[in-house]
Copies of this chain bind each other. A is one copy, B any other.
């Protein structure tokens, strides 16, 4: 056990005021039981029911998106959002190399190819300056957008992901998308409650998506949502995620290849109760961040990730970022903390290193490569402090 690892365990104990803590667990302390019971009593637990409509309206109201479409999970939401953004089989889609695998998988499900780009140290998300430089050297504008000069494929969409809830530099990324004719689709799976200059993440692109998996800031068991201001796209999203069945008194006419992706009413009932507590969860997570800042203030070789300038982060998953000179101690710190019952995790392996994505196009990734070695996620549940 290194001195650094010991200091980190001590700081975690000090911040948390407890000996052990999981990485992230949901908190059910309001009307979850009530709504779920009511849902079961109504017998509408599945594809039809009021909680889905209510959850969608609550999400739209909260995020400021004109429409929200609740679906079975964030991955399904991203798949449908990309499809509605016009991504076609054989297109390339710019995604961060530093992300959960679902970001790339959703691209692959529709036959498109992820094209990895680098992150910025201050946001942990896509770096617009590096991306612009890379596109200048690799891509050319065409009448219908942008083409990769090396692969010959169309690059059609840009998918920023707001890492751990910290918003990307959206002004910069929107400018790159504009200048290169890329459709912006936001992966806001981790950033419900996060704002960039007072505007909610997931509402900058043509479409955005949220996730309500068990480890997210609010959970529906499994679930996700598509956000958009475009009514036609929203209607189409609803249609595609409900088997593309045309409305009819009794006939089964499906006019395109749809999906069984709607969120069950049972899960939406849980979501309604969770969403009512979001403000408290956000406050709790911010308190925890401040506690961590205090506890780690004496530690010179690491810092706690804070919200980028102009942003209000949801602090969904707290991150300790090691200085480069102690990055090689990451696994020792992970072992020490986990063995102490303080559950920590490294960040994801960069997607371009995973077997199914090794052959995909990639920009140089100096920052993402450095961050991958240096990030340690630390206990983050709402209600910890």
Write the residues of chain A forming the contact surface with B, with a CB cutoff of 8 angstroms.
25-28, 32-33, 36-37, 40-41, 43-48, 72-76, 100-102, 105, 108-109, 111, 213-215, 219-222, 243-245, 249-260, 262-267, 270, 334, 338, 344-349, 354-356
Q: Which B residues are CB-close (under 8 A) to A260?
A: 73-76, 102, 105, 213, 222
Min C-beta distance of A335 to chain B, whole Å? 8
Q: Which of A33, A249, A266, A338 has the most CB of B within 10 A?
A: A266
Min C-beta distance of A236 to chain B, whole Å? 15
Contacting A105 at CB < 8 Å: which of B33, B259, B267? B259
Q: Which B residues are CB-close (under 8 A) to A249?
A: 334, 338
Q: Which B residues are CB-close (under 8 A) to A72?
A: 72-73, 222
Chain B residue with Cβ nearest A216: B46
A–B pairs, 27, beta carbons within 8 Å: A26-B43, A28-B43, A32-B40, A36-B36, A45-B270, A46-B215, A46-B222, A72-B72, A72-B73, A73-B260, A75-B260, A76-B260, A100-B252, A105-B259, A108-B257, A220-B264, A221-B265, A221-B266, A222-B262, A222-B264, A250-B344, A250-B346, A252-B347, A253-B354, A255-B354, A257-B356, A266-B267
Chain B residue with Cβ nearest A258: B105
Chain B residue with Cβ nearest A45: B221
Distance in angstroms between the alpha carbons of A343 and B344 in the assembled complex = 54
Distance in angstroms between the alpha carbons of A69 and B265 in the assembled complex = 22
Q: Which B residues are CB-close (under 8 A) to A263?
A: 222
Chain B residue with Cβ nearest A47: B214
A46 contacts B256, CB within 8 Å?
no
Min C-beta distance of A146 to chain B, whole Å? 25
Q: Which B residues are CB-close (under 8 A) to A37?
A: 33, 36-37
Chain B residue with Cβ nearest A274: B45
A267 contacts B221, CB within 8 Å?
yes
Chain B residue with Cβ nearest A263: B222
Min C-beta distance of A204 to chain B, whole Å? 24
B219 contacts A105, CB within 8 Å?
no
Extra 5 A-B pairs, beta carbons < 8 Å, given A222-B264, A250-B338: A27-B43, A45-B219, A221-B264, A222-B262, A250-B334
